[in-house]
Amino acid sequence: MALSKLQKVAILVAIPIIIGLLPAPDGLPLIAWRLFGIYLATIVGLVIKPYGEPVILLAAVAASSVVIGNTAGAGELVKVSQTLSGYQSGTTWLIFTAFTLSSAFVITGLGKRIAYHMIGWLGSTTLRLGYVTMFLDLLLSPATPSNTARAGGIIFPIINSIAVALGSTPNETPKKAGRYLLMNVYMVVKTTSYIFLTAMAPNALALSLMAPILGFNLDWIHWFLAASVPGLLCLFLIPLVGYIICPPELKEVDNKEIARKGLEELGPMKFREKALIVLFIGALFCWIFANVLNVNATTVALTVMVLCIILNIVAWDDILKNKAGWNTLIWYGGIIGMSSILDKAGFFKWLATTFETYLNFDGHGNIALMVILFISVAVRYLFASGGAYVAAMVPVFATVGKVAGAPVELLALGLLFTNSYGGSVTHYGGGPGPITFGAGYNDIKSWWATGAVIAFGSLLIHCTVGILWWKFLIGAGWL
């Protein structure tokens, strides 16, 4: 039976109260124990969702401030002002400003124009259309931290209309083309989302939550280097794997006519689209060569956002209407700030000590690494939100792996990437899932079967090819 909003709120209020009334475990400061109660309620709130993520996190930040101010001795470990430290994070603002580029591709129509050109060049078969989706998503992903906007706002409408144009409808002929094409949209976006730091908002969140625990951090180019070999290998296999598991009945496609009609509707390329191409390429260039140019990735994103407004590519009103960007700014900044005060209060240090006492892999750190990565994918069956998964599980997996002796760099990279492709296992594992599944072409059985093959197949590739590649990068001093 579904819980009412009032019941959900009652659960969230009860969690920190009950924990606060219980004595703190040995070795854990009282303030850390009370803050953990609020953090746990926050994670539960992100899962059961009585309100949207920003409301839950603002409430959690406010509650944390009250608890810090009313706990004796708390000021020696953490300050009230530090609850807002997540909003000072460069990664939070990097993701927020990158949302401007994301919305610009939709507003100007440039995303659709690129898609139709790709369809005209490559999409002569259904399988090739699967690869058109893959190339388009890969091209757009560095500048679209909302994979829901990327897959749902740009790619899905195009691919859905193509399926209909090919005579494939959800009720009568889903297997003709639509089942494969729409499923492929989701499976592809869950892989492109971890190839670039800015391709999915939870990437930066996972990195921020993990950094104080593992002492490991990455910039934009080193993230791409680490993800490139295993990620691109998985990406190039996904359209083929989906084609084999759910083969479409239609093989040949009149791609030239589809592209002609699409481009005709868009009309000639406008100044805003041309300017956006220049800014997009410029942003990529600066992110890639940030160290050489001595520029900060967040500064680049802010500069591009301002230029988009000045050049009238987007208006300030468009940015104000971009709810996904503002929501991300509020709740990601909040969760990063809460993680930061938990760390300063000594919670993660105590958690590591506790796990070290009861968890023992007898020095087999590599086995611990494989077990944790496997669980990190399997547990995604329980989460309908990538952000909720990151907030709830990444600090735990990072702590467990560290005390179990797993190689820190390999553990960090493995967890950063399972965060995204692990969501392939279900049709609710990420924002684009309900959109593509909701088109009506797919059934749960075929979707979950394909998702399991892709998610655990990706895990296998990352635990073999990926680990070899990461060891090479570490040995060469490139990470």
CA–CA distance from 430 to each of 118, 383, 424 (Å)? 26, 9, 8
Alpha helices in 404-443 (DSSP H): 408-421, 432-437
State the pLDDT at residue 131.
Answer: 95
Report residue 217 as tokens.
């951090």
Residue closest to 216 by CA, chosen among 28, 407, 34? 407
| Phi, psi torsion values for 125, nearest 5 degrees | -130, 165
Residue carrying structure tokens 């083969």: 247
CA distances to 106, 153, 266, 399 from 273, in Å: 10, 17, 11, 46
Strand partners, 252: 125
Kindly give the confidence (pLDDT) of every residue in the chain, 479 residues in length, as a single tens digit, with 9 standing for 90 and above: 568 889 999 999 999 999 999 999 988 999 999 999 998 898 888 878 898 888 998 999 999 999 998 887 777 888 888 888 888 877 778 778 877 777 888 888 888 888 888 889 888 899 999 999 999 999 989 988 778 778 877 888 888 888 888 888 888 898 998 899 999 999 999 999 999 998 988 898 899 889 888 988 898 999 999 999 999 999 999 999 999 999 999 898 888 988 899 899 999 999 999 999 999 888 888 888 877 888 888 888 889 889 999 999 999 998 888 887 888 788 878 888 888 888 888 887 887 777 767 766 677 888 989 999 999 999 888 776 677 788 878 888 998 898 888 999 999 999 999 989 999 988 877 778 877 888 888 888 888 899 999 999 999 999 999 999 999 999 998 88
CA 202 to the chain's CA centroid: 4
Two tokens, residue 461: 């590739």
Which pLDDT belongs to residue 359? 66
pTM of the model: 0.80
**Residues 132, 174: contact at Cβ < 8 Å?**
no
Tell me which residue of 84, 85, 4, 9 sits closest to 44, measured CA to CA. Answer: 9
Residue 122 confidence (pLDDT): 85
Q: Residue 11 is encoded by which pair of tokens?
A: 């659960």
Quote the distance between the C-alpha of residue 354 and its chain's center: 30
Residues 6+ apart with CB under 8 A from 298: 90, 91, 93, 94, 97
- Of 236, 198, 239, which is closest to residue 220 (Cα–Cα)? 198
pLDDT tens digits, one per residue of 51-71: 888 899 899 999 999 999 888
pLDDT > 90: what percent of the chain?
Answer: 40
291-299: long-range pairs with CB below 8 Å, 24+: 291/219, 291/221, 296/90, 297/90, 297/94, 297/197, 297/219, 297/220, 298/90, 298/91, 298/93, 298/94, 298/97
Q: Report pLDDT for 114.
A: 87
List the structure tokens of 330: 């509020």
